């Protein structure tokens, strides 16, 4: 992390930078996903209802 962060990027949160690095490292897997498929998955999860027992 210290190598990637510069003075100009000091305000970037470590978690956000870690997520960006993960996508870059696993880019072969990330290429398989489209923006539309991600949006559809998030939309489907939003409509779920919690069932209480």
For residue 39, being part of any structural domain is answered with yes
Please state the domain count of the chain: 1
pLDDT for the residue numbered 33: 87
Percentage of the chain with pLDDT > 90? 2
Question: Is the residue at 3 inside a domain?
Answer: no
Whether residue 50 has pLDDT greater than 80: no
Q: How far apart are CA 18 and CA 25, in angstroms?
A: 10
Q: Is position 6 within any domain?
A: no
18 within domain boundaries: yes
Asked whether residue 35 is assigned to any structural domain, the reply reads yes
Q: Give the global pTM.
A: 0.43
> What sign has the CA pseudo-torsion 8, 10, 11, 16?
positive
Within a domain: 42 = yes
Query: 48 pLDDT exceeds 70?
Result: no
């Amino acid at each position: 992390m210290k190598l990637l962060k510069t003075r100009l990027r000091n305000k970037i949160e470590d978690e956000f930078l870690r997520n960006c690095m993960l996508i870059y490292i696993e880019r072969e897997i990330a290429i398989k996903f489209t923006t539309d498929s991600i949006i559809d998955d998030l939309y489907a999860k939003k409509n779920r209802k919690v069932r209480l027992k």
